[in-house]
C-alpha cells in the first residue's frame, strides 16, 4: 500500500493488453495511428481544436507556457502552482519566461485584485504580462466553475490568455459532478495528466488551438520530447480517459474515509469537510514522530510520506480496506 501519490498507480490489465496490441508508427513523422487517434479524440472530447501527447505533465506545462509566451514575457500564477514551484523553474530556465506568482487563497484560487495589480504596464522597464495560469485541482482543492468564469472575464478584460494546469482536472470534474468540458470551456489551453489517478504508465496531453499546438509540437521536439512508436503509451492513455474516470469517485470517497479516521486519532488534525478529492492533508502534533512511524509502516509494506502537514493520496491501488488497515496501525503507533 502506497499513500504517497496517485502517480504510483500501476496500469490496468486492459491497458497492458491494449499496449501489446496497439498499431504503431514513427510519431515524429506523424505516422503513429494510435497517437493520432488519441490526440484527435482528446481534442474533441475536451472542446479544443488540437492536442499533443507529451512525456509528462511537466513537459506539457512547459510547452504550454512557451507556446503562449516569448522570451521576456511573463505569466501570472499561484505561489503554490505546480508550474511555478515544482517544475525546476523550467519556464524561466528554458523559456526565458518570467513567472509572477501571487499568494493563493486558502481555497486555492487567486485574488483578481492582486492579479490586476501584478499586470505590468506596457513600458520598457517591465516584462510583458501575457498569461494567467490556473491549476484545478490545486493541492486537492477544486476551483468552482463560477471562479473559472470570472477568470475568463478577467483575462478578456486585460488582454491575457488563460492556461489550465489540469493534471487532475478529472478529479475536479468528478468532484463538481460536471463534464470535463464544462471546466475546459474557459481556457485557451489545458493539460491533462494520464499517469496519476487515471493510471496510465506514462503521458500527458496539451490541448489548444491548431496554431498553438503546432508551435508546441515544434517545442516538444526541441526539448527532446519527440517520441517514436509512442502508440504503445497512447493506447493506455486512451483507456485512462475512457475507463478510469469512474474510479476517481471511489478515490474521493476513500479520501473522506481516511480523513474521518485520521481526525479520530490523537495527534492528527484534519477537517474532513475540507477534503474535496483524493488528497488529504493533516497537521501533526509535536509528539508525533512521523519519521519513526513511517519506518514502522514500511516494515509492514505500507508507504507514506513524511512531513508536516503530512499528505496522503488515495488511488485505485489502495482500497477502503487498506485505508482501514492504515488507520488502525496509525492509531496504535500514535498512542505509544
Ligand atoms: C503531477 C503534476 C504535474 C506534473 O506532472 P508530471 O507528469 O509529474 O511531470 C503538473 N501539475 C500538477 C498540478 C501535478 O499534480
Domain ranges of the chain: 12-242, 247-333
Strands 189-193 and 161-165: parallel
Q: Answer yes or no: same fold for 12-242 and 247-333.
A: no
Pick out the chain residues at pLDDT < 70.
336
C-alpha cell at 28: 515524429
Q: Which of 79, 193, 200, 201 to mutate to test the pocket of ligand 1 (most atoms within 8 A of CB)?
A: 193
User: pLDDT tens-digit profile of 6-45?
Assistant: 999 999 999 999 999 999 999 999 999 999 999 999 999 9
Torsion angle of the four alpha carbons 243, 244, 250, 251, in this order, in degrees rounded to the nearest 10? 180
User: Domain 12-242 is in which class?
Assistant: alpha beta
CA distance 231 to 238: 10
C-alpha cell at 281: 492533508
Q: Is 54 in the pocket of ligand 1 (CB under 6 A)?
A: no
C-alpha cell at 180: 470535463
Q: Ligand 1 centre and the CA of 281: distance in Å?
A: 18
Give the pLDDT of residue 334. Answer: 86
Of all protein residues, whose CA lies closest to atom 10 belonging to ligand 1?
A: 57
User: Domain 247-333 is in which class?
Assistant: alpha beta
Q: Is 270 in the pocket of ligand 1 (CB under 6 A)?
A: no
- Please, what sign has the CA dihedral across residues 215, 219, 222, 226? negative
> Do 40 and 51 form a contact (C-beta atoms < 8 A)?
yes
Give the pLDDT of residue 336. Answer: 57
User: pLDDT tens-digit profile of 109-134?
Assistant: 999 999 999 999 999 999 999 999 99
> Do 270 and 281 form a contact (C-beta atoms < 8 A)?
yes
Strands 204-208 and 189-193: antiparallel
User: pLDDT tens-digit profile of 67-83?
Assistant: 999 999 999 999 999 99
Q: Ligand 1 centre and the CA of 108: distance in Å?
A: 16
Q: What is the pTM of this model?
A: 0.97
Amino acid at each position: 500500500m502506497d499513500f504517497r501519490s496517485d502517480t504510483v498507480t500501476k496500469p490496468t490489465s486492459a491497458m497492458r493488453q491494449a499496449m501489446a496490441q496497439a498499431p504503431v508508427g514513427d510519431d515524429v513523422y506523424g505516422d503513429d495511428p494510435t497517437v493520432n487517434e488519441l490526440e484527435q479524440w482528446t481534442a474533441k472530447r475536451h472542446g479544443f481544436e488540437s492536442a499533443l501527447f507529451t512525456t509528462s505533465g511537466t513537459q506539457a506545462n512547459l510547452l504550454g507556457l512557451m507556446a503562449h509566451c516569448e522570451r521576456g514575457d511573463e505569466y501570472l500564477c499561484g505561489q503554490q502552482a505546480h508550474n511555478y514551484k515544482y517544475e525546476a523553474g523550467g519556464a524561466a530556465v528554458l523559456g526565458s519566461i518570467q513567472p509572477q506568482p501571487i499568494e493563493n487563497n486558502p481555497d486555492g484560487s487567486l485574488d483578481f485584485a492582486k492579479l490586476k495589480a501584478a499586470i505590468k504596464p506596457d513600458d520598457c522597464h517591465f516584462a510583458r504580462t501575457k498569461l494567467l495560469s490556473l491549476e484545478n485541482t490545486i493541492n486537492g482543492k477544486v476551483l468552482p466553475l463560477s471562479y473559472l468564469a470570472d477568470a475568463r472575464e478577467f483575462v478578456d478584460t486585460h488582454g491575457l490568455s488563460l492556461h489550465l494546469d489540469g493534471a487532475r482536472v478529472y478529479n475536479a470534474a468528478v468532484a463538481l459532478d460536471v463534464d470535463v468540458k464544462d471546466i475546459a470551456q474557459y481556457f485557451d489551453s489545458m493539460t491533462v495528466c494520464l499517469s496519476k489517478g487515471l493510471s496510465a504508465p506514462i503521458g500527458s496531453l496539451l490541448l489548444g488551438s491548431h496554431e498553438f499546438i503546432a508551435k508546441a509540437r515544434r517545442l516538444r521536439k526541441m526539448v527532446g520530447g519527440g517520441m517514436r512508436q509512442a502508440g504503445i503509451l497512447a493506447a493506455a492513455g486512451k483507456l485512462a480517459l475512457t475507463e478510469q474516470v469512474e474510479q476517481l469517485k471511489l478515490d474521493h470517497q476513500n479520501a473522506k474515509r481516511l480523513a474521518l479516521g485520521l481526525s479520530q486519532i490523537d495527534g492528527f488534525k484534519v477537517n474532513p469537510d475540507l477534503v474535496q478529492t483524493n488528497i488529504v492533508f493533516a497537521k501533526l502534533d509535536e509528539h508525533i514522530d512521523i519519521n519513526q512511524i513511517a519506518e514502522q509502516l514500511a516494515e509492514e509494506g505500507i508507504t507514506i510520506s513524511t512531513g508536516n502537514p503530512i499528505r496522503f493520496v488515495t488511488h485505485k491501488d489502495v482500497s477502503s480496506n487498506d485505508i482501514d488497515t492504515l488507520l488502525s496501525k496509525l492509531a496504535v503507533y500514535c498512542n505509544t
